[in-house]
């Protein structure tokens, strides 16, 4: 039986929370925007922390962590805190922050693809690559079409949070999440 490292457990917990959050947001479309702002603020903080931890783990393993992971992690944490502290302003700014968060997170995860392929193998590599390329496309689509973002953010966010959760769980169960 493989023992999971602290990183593996963190990714697994994050994955489960993101899937639950995505299903909850999809199942309850009538929830007030303020609640969504809070939920996505919390998700941004959690995922930002995961990006920072991933930077540290990659740096420890290879000696050279992708700086973009650290930067996007810090931006995710800052965006999440802003959404949690100022939910009313967050509801208005969400149409701009959410696409930026999508893009930053996807770029961060794409910057680790070499490490993911080395440690986890081709299956996790391609799965991660496809999910985050889709996320980049959605992020840019939402960024350049604020009306689309405002009217459909609920569906984009719900579906993508579920995909991010699955990606985190797959990563946690891969060799990357095991203790060496």
User: Tens digit of pLDDT for each residue in 94-123?
Assistant: 677 778 877 888 888 888 888 888 877 888
Once rounded to an integer, what is the mean pLDDT over residues 139-162?
Answer: 76
The confidence score (pLDDT) of residue 1 equals 44
pLDDT of residue 36: 72
What is the dihedral sign for C-alpha 161, 2, 126, 118? positive
How far lies 155's CA from each of 36, 81, 165, 180, in Å?
A: 12, 23, 15, 39
- pLDDT tens-digit readout, 46-84: 888 988 888 888 878 777 777 888 888 898 899 889 888
CA 105/CA 107 separation, integer angstroms: 5
pLDDT given for residue 77 in this prediction: 92
pLDDT reported for residue 133: 92
C-alpha 83/C-alpha 89 separation (Å) is: 8
Q: What global pTM score does this model have?
A: 0.60
Helix/strand/coil for 4:
strand
Q: What are phi and psi of 71, to 5 degrees?
A: -65, -45
Residue 177, pLDDT above cutoff 70: no
The label of the residue with tokens 């639950």 reads 20
């Amino acid at each position: 039986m493989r023992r999971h490292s602290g990183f593996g457990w963190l990714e697994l917990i994050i994955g489960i929370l993101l899937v639950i959050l995505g299903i909850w947001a999809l199942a309850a479309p009538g929830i007030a925007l303020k609640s969504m702002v809070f939920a996505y603020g919390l998700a941004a903080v959690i995922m930002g922390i995961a990006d920072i931890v991933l930077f540290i783990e990659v740096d420890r393993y290879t000696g050279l962590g992708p700086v973009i992971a650290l930067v996007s992690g810090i931006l995710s944490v800052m965006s999440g805190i802003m959404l949690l502290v100022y939910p009313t302003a967050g509801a208005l700014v969400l149409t701009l922050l959410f696409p930026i968060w999508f893009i930053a997170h996807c770029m961060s995860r794409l910057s680790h693809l070499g490490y993911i392929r080395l440690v986890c193998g081709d299956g996790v590599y391609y799965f991660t690559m496809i999910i985050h390329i889709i996320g980049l496309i959605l992020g840019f689509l939402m960024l350049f079409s604020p009306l689309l973002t405002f009217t459909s953010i609920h569906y984009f966010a719900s579906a993508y949070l579920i995909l991010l959760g699955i990606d985190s769980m797959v990563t946690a169960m891969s060799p990357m999440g095991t203790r060496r």
